[in-house]
Amino acid sequence: MTKQKKPIYVCQSCGYQAVKWLGRCPDCGEWNSMVEELVKSERKGKTASAMSQPQTIDAISLATEMRLKTGMVEFDRTLGGGVVPGSLVLIGGDPGIGKSTLILQVLNRLSQQSCRALYLSGEESPQQIKLRAERLSVHSEGLYIMTGTCIEDFFEKMAPIKPDIVAVDSIQTVYTNDMTSAPGSVGQVREVAARLMTFAKQSGVPIFLIGHVTKEGAIAGPKVLEHLVDTVLYFEGDKGHVFRILRSVKNRFGPTNEIGVFEMKDTGLEEVCNPSRIFLEERPQDAPGSIVIPCIEGTRPVLVEIQALVGPSPLGMPRRTAIGVDHNRISLLVAVLGKRIGMELGDQDIFVNVAGGLKVDEPAADLGIVSAMMSSFLNRPVDRNLVVFGEVGLAGEIRGVSQPDLRIREARKLGFSRCLLSRNNFEGANSPGDMELGGVESIQELYELLFK
């Protein structure tokens, strides 16, 4: 190994390392993201002691996994059935979405089951935490609060408490003295997380890391953390709405894409045990122009309701308003409807809206938009247990989209029982028994299936 006296430059967006400063990261293409990082002292042989003796796979006994159950069903399920001892769990989300609230409630639940829980906050004072705890009615003998940002300090002061579970809020505020770069930089985040990882694996204490998400949607100091930790959960939702979704995007101990749904109330987060309620409750009963589509947000499937209102226009130049979907896509689909099935919407005002304030920019939404427009124009509702997805081509053909199984599973999870998709996707789809699938080849066929 070479002695590293020279600084290295690390991209704060993707973790790419270079020996000289670059204006643009060659890996992720981000501008001005390279930051100098210096490692003060090199770790020597620390990891060697953790190396196990080689043994045959048959010799390893299958210890029955003792998972810690928080008692919050949605949370436990997202983790794959509870907290695994010695695991490192990253919870990411936008600022203000409710991560601190969630973790405080989780620690409270655990500490009430004679667990000693330790909450390290690098962002808030003990008083601020107490204020939140009062609001959440958190009272527990076994819940310890620490504030500070130095990881060496933390390990020293934590030792006498001997916690059974630890949460660090947030990983971006904590730093190690061994590096000169600022807290929150890729190097710091990675180093601190690695130390916590070592501690978790050696002691068997599970650790939750809270991480902020950057504008681009990645956890700041991002991919570098995702591969290090055992489990990555995203806490997401629209701040204007009360619902929050906790989603596992990586899990070494359970399935991914598992979701837990919560409602943010005055007194904290409350579990929503039947998530389809979110969509069904606010969704108008059998209203024409409303349909639900499963779309993929990054790696995450999300169900959204598309609404359309189509009516005769009093104007010479009819209105086309699109909220949450691409305006040009609407024009294209209107043209396809006119040409392929003779449904002329040229003299109609058309409003398309994605309920809940979400933005959908993938072609898979086409089938939903078309269905909603037809439904509104004909003034006939579609089956409320139906979801549709697929891309619509200019010839009126329905094209396959990526990850049909993921979409179908998500729809099923949220209580839908029927799904229309492209013939292509239909043939490749792995249907979960109780979901009725229908493959459609053209917009004409869709029209007949929905309204004849």
Task: Give the interface with Mg ion as residue ranges (CB under 5 A).
Answer: 100
Binding partner at 222 among Mg ion, ligand TYD, none, C-beta below 5 to 8 Å by kind = none
Contact 199, 155 (CB under 8 A): yes
Contact 429, 408 (CB under 8 A): yes
Q: How far is the CB of 212 from Mg ion (least distance, A)?
A: 8
User: Which residue, 70 or 100, has its beta carbon nearer to Mg ion?
Assistant: 100
User: Which residue, 28 or 136, has its beta carbon nearer to ligand TYD?
Assistant: 136
User: Which residue, 97 or 387, has its beta carbon nearer to ligand TYD?
Assistant: 97
Q: How far is the CB of 196 from ligand TYD (least distance, A)?
A: 19
Structure tokens at 156: 């020293």
Binding partner at 384 among Mg ion, ligand TYD, none, C-beta below 5 to 8 Å by kind = none
Residues 230 and 125: their CA atoms lie apart, in Å, by 29
User: Which residue, 129 or 350, has its beta carbon nearer to Mg ion?
Assistant: 129
Q: How far is the CB of 193 from Mg ion (least distance, A)?
A: 18
User: Which residue, 270 or 383, has its beta carbon nearer to ligand TYD?
Assistant: 270
Amino acid at 444: Q
Contact 406, 428 (CB under 8 A): no
135: which residues sit within 8 A by CB, 6+ positions away?
266, 267, 268
User: Which residue, 154 or 234, has its beta carbon nearer to ligand TYD?
Assistant: 234
Structure tokens at 220: 């700041």
CA atoms within 13 A on the CB side of 240: 4
Q: How far is the CB of 119 from ligand TYD (least distance, A)?
A: 12
Q: How far is the CB of 209 from ligand TYD (least distance, A)?
A: 13
Q: How far is the CB of 99 from Mg ion (least distance, A)?
A: 5
Binding partner at 433 among ligand TYD, Mg ion, none, C-beta below 5 to 8 Å by kind = none
Binding partner at 267 among ligand TYD, Mg ion, none, C-beta below 5 to 8 Å by kind = ligand TYD
The angle subtended at Cα 143 by Cα 137 and Cα 148, nearest 5°, is 110
378: which residues sit within 8 A by CB, 6+ positions away?
288, 451
Task: Please give the residue ranges that form the binding site for ligand TYD (CB under 6 A).
Answer: 93, 95-101, 132, 135-136, 264, 266-268
Helix or strand holding residue 87 (H, E): none
What is residue 234's three-state secondary structure?
Answer: strand
User: Which residue, 172 or 307, has its beta carbon nearer to ligand TYD?
Assistant: 172
Q: How far is the CB of 141 from ligand TYD (least distance, A)?
A: 21
Binding partner at 171 among ligand TYD, Mg ion, none, C-beta below 5 to 8 Å by kind = none
Q: How far is the CB of 211 from Mg ion (least distance, A)?
A: 11
Q: How far is the CB of 265 from ligand TYD (least distance, A)?
A: 6
Torsion of CA 409, 410, 411, 413, to 10 degrees: 80
Q: How far is the CB of 264 from ligand TYD (least distance, A)?
A: 5
User: Which residue, 13 or 100, has its beta carbon nearer to ligand TYD?
Assistant: 100
Cα–Cα distances (Å) from 450 to 285, 340, 344, 368, 383, in that order, read 17, 16, 18, 12, 8
Binding partner at 264 among ligand TYD, Mg ion, none, C-beta below 5 to 8 Å by kind = ligand TYD
181 prior amide bond cis, ω within 30: no
Q: How far is the CB of 90 from Mg ion (least distance, A)?
A: 14
Contact 165, 200 (CB under 8 A): no
Binding partner at 132 among ligand TYD, Mg ion, none, C-beta below 5 to 8 Å by kind = ligand TYD
What's the chain's length in residues? 452
Binding partner at 93 among ligand TYD, Mg ion, none, C-beta below 5 to 8 Å by kind = ligand TYD
User: Which residue, 105 or 376, has its beta carbon nearer to ligand TYD?
Assistant: 105
Contact 165, 205 (CB under 8 A): yes
User: Which residue, 209 or 264, has its beta carbon nearer to ligand TYD?
Assistant: 264
User: Which residue, 84 or 106, has its beta carbon nearer to ligand TYD?
Assistant: 106
Binding partner at 285 among Mg ion, ligand TYD, none, C-beta below 5 to 8 Å by kind = none
Binding partner at 254 among ligand TYD, Mg ion, none, C-beta below 5 to 8 Å by kind = none
38-68 burial by CB neighbour count: b if 16+ within 10 A, else e? ebeeeeeeeeeeeeeeeeeeeeeeeeeeebb
Binding partner at 268 among ligand TYD, Mg ion, none, C-beta below 5 to 8 Å by kind = ligand TYD
Instruction: Please name which of 288, 356, 365, 270 lies closest in space to residue 325, comparing C-alpha atoms.
Output: 365
Structure tokens at 262: 């919560």
Helix or strand holding residue 440 (H, E): strand 436-440
Residue nearest to Mg ion (CB): 100
